[in-house]
Amino acid sequence: MEKRRCDFSLGAGRISEKALLYHDTRWCKPEHHDGELFAMLILEGMQAGVSWNLILEKEENFRRAFDGFDPEIVAGYGEEKIAELMQDRGIIRNRNKITAAITNARAFLKVQEEFGTFDKFIWSFTGGKPIDHRLKNVADMPAKDALSEKVSLELKKRGFKFVGPTIIYSYLQGIGVLNDHCVDCDFR
């Protein structure tokens, strides 16, 4: 019997194999590893204005180009590395997004210093528990909510860039703080 999934097609065309794998194994699944929390923050910022399918297709390239998304390494990037990244056809070559990744690495390290881990910080907004919206269909999924606005504001206060409430809503889904799998999805 074929497994049921959230219906993201909504007339947008075919969903890629990487997107299906992401849906089935990573999306809305609680993530607590700081390295992956940082990676997802950068990938979500890179996604602004482009499709998530494109980001997933380029994810391996991003991980390679950004030194495995190690925040300590990314925080040390200078103009030479920015110029190198701007020439890398395997990633999104947007200078503002690239410099935001560097800024966010530095802010991420400061949060780790203050809280011990970024995990403790980001999950503190929900008392360490995922929020399950129990959606009937993806059309009911908001682009942002009060939680994403609160987290966005806090991140901006701490110097993060490309962290508006819509990006943060998607980020919170991506790291499992929010579970927006539809109630009849077998991958909840």
Of the residues 27, 31, 52, 123, only one is catalytic, namely: 52
- Map residue 58 onto helix, strand or coil: helix
Task: Assess whether pLDDT exceeds 70 at residue 95.
Answer: yes
R_g over Cα of the chain: 16
Instruction: State residue 10's pLDDT score.
Output: 47
Of the residues 44, 123, 169, 171, only one is catalytic, namely: 44
To the query of whether residue 22 is one of the catalytic residues in this protein, the response is yes
Nearest-angstrom CA–CA distance, 140 and 160: 29
Nearest-angstrom CA–CA distance, 25 and 62: 19
pLDDT digits (tens, 9 = 90+) for 40-75: 999 999 999 999 999 999 999 999 999 999 999 999
Task: Assess whether pLDDT exceeds 50 at residue 161.
Answer: yes
Which residues have a Cβ under 8 Å from the Cβ of 96 and sit 6 or more positions away? 162
To the query of whether residue 52 is one of the catalytic residues in this protein, the response is yes
Instruction: State residue 16's pLDDT score.
Output: 83
pTM of the model: 0.95
Which domains can be identified in the chain, with CATH numbers? 17-179 (1.10.340.30)
pLDDT band at 9 (very low <50, low <70, confident <90, very high): low
Of the residues 22, 77, 123, 169, only one is catalytic, namely: 22
Task: Assess whether pLDDT exceeds 90 at residue 169.
Answer: yes
Smallest CA-to-CA distance from 174 within 121, 117, 130, 140 is with 130
